[in-house]
Structures are given as structure tokens and as C-alpha cells.
Structure 1
Amino acid sequence: MFLYPLLFISALVGSRAEENVRQPTEDVMVVEGHPTTLTCLFDTTSPSPYLFWYKLANAKPIFMLRRDTFSPGETTTEFKDRFDAHLNVTGKSVPLTIQRLQLSDSAVYYCALRPTVTKVYSGPLQKL
């Protein structure tokens, strides 16, 4: 059994002051094999917000999942088995739960309103 840090940061998203997310805890110490939940609180004027979770790997954000009020959301294949989030519009939260923690889960996680990252390009882009 190992204790290791599971880090996450908050991201301020949106062009208006009333559109933001907060992650009140910066560092989380967890036990391998156990579950943990990362908190994400948000403020928005939208009656139907879209919330996203990302994992930072090699200084690049990796899209994990999206939750919204009108669909079951979306979770990428890599994160389907052990990662889940439930959007609570009334409580203005979308906590991320990770089951059966592994050492490879140690990373920076952040939540966001709206899609802040849609694609990561490794080469130059060309206009058509």
C-alpha cells in the first residue's frame, strides 16, 4: 500500500466574471487501491452548463470526460473503467471520482466550463 500525491489545480474559464470553476483543495494524499473524489465547484449564468475534466500529462491536457444536463455525457475510452463524474446543477458541482487508484493516476487534474481544449496539434497547421 502506497501513499502518493494526487494533484489538481483549478481553471478560471469564460470571459465574464460569473463564469468560473473552483477546486478548493490543491493537493490530495491518497492510498493506492482506494477510491478518491476530487471537488469541482462552478458558477455560471447558464441554465444548462457543460463541465469537463482534464488530466495534465507531459504538459498537455488530455480530455477525460464531459457532463451536461441534457445527455449522459461523454467519457473517453481510457477513463471509462475507473473515472466518473456526476453533474449537480443545483449544488453547482461536478466531483470526479476515481476508483481503485493506481500510481499512474498521480497527476494534475482540472475541471472547466465549456470545451477549453478540443484538439492538440503536434505540427504546423495549414490553411486551405
Structure 2
Amino acid sequence: MGTCFILSIRIISQLVAVLSDSVQSEETQVSGAEGDAVTLRCSYTTSYTGSVYLHWYRQYPNQGLQYILWRGAKDARDLSDTANFAQQRFSSQVDDSATALSITALEVADGAVYYCALGLAP
């Protein structure tokens, strides 16, 4: 039997200038075993009509944030970037109200706090 561990989600808001903008986790913890696949979800709202970007980071205890990926939404839907380490097992889906981070073939090293962030650009 594989090792079971918990992934925690925390939400941060980045570059949000409009008070009606928000980002919220749909769950606070997700658990899985080595080799499993999991999906972490955040919903967001914004009245902003420009480019919207949803970012994912993770953090290990006593370390800084580690960038995973970002994906554009609304008029930036075709834009994305993924860190080199994440290209094989991490992916993201975005629509007009939510983003999801999927992790396949879980490893013990994936046990961390994950952050979802909303970014807006002119």
C-alpha cells in the first residue's frame, strides 16, 4: 500500500485592484496516496474585463513559495506557462469562474500547501 498524505490549499489574492474581486478554495484539504491523481479547485469572481490570470504555487514548511503554473482566463484564455519541474504531472483548467490544478502520479514530495492566486493585467 502506498504512502497516504494530505495536500492543503490556501488562497491568496494577487494584483487585485477591484474590491469585488475574490478567489476562494472549494476545499481546504485533499488527500491521496502515491501514484494517485488529485485535483485542487478554486473559484473566483471578478468584474474586471481585461486579462485575468490564475496562478498556482506550493510551499513546503519553512520555505518560500514555489511557482507551479499560471493560466489565462477570459480574453487571455490561450496563454499559459508551467514551471519545468511541473510539465509532466501538473496541469490546469480555467473557465470564467474557477480554476483547477490536476496532479497525476502523486509523489510524497507533492505533500505541501498549495496556493491559488488571481492576477489581473491591463
TM-score range, shorter-chain basis? 0.7 to 0.9
Structure 2: which amino acid aligns with 1:59?
Q
Greater relative contact order, per chain length (Cα 8 Å cut-off, separation 6+): 2
Aligned length: 113
| Root-mean-square deviation (Å) | 1.6
- Unaligned stretches of 5+ residues in structure 1: 116-128
Residue in structure 1 matched with residue 3 of structure 2 by the alignment: 2
TM-score, reference length from structure 2: 0.84
Which residue does 1:55 correspond to in 2? 58
Bigger Rg over Cα: 1
Superposition pairs for residues 48-87 of structure 1, below 5 Å?
48-57=51-60, 58-69=62-73, 70=76, 71-87=78-94
Verify the 8 A CA contact 1:11 1:20 in the aligned structure 2.
no
CA distance in 2, matches of 1:87, 1:94: 4
Unpaired segments of 5 or more residues in structure 2?
Answer: none
Give the whole-Å Cα distance in 2 for the aligned partners of 1:53 and 1:80.
13
- Normalised to the residue count of structure 1, the TM-score between the two structures is 0.80
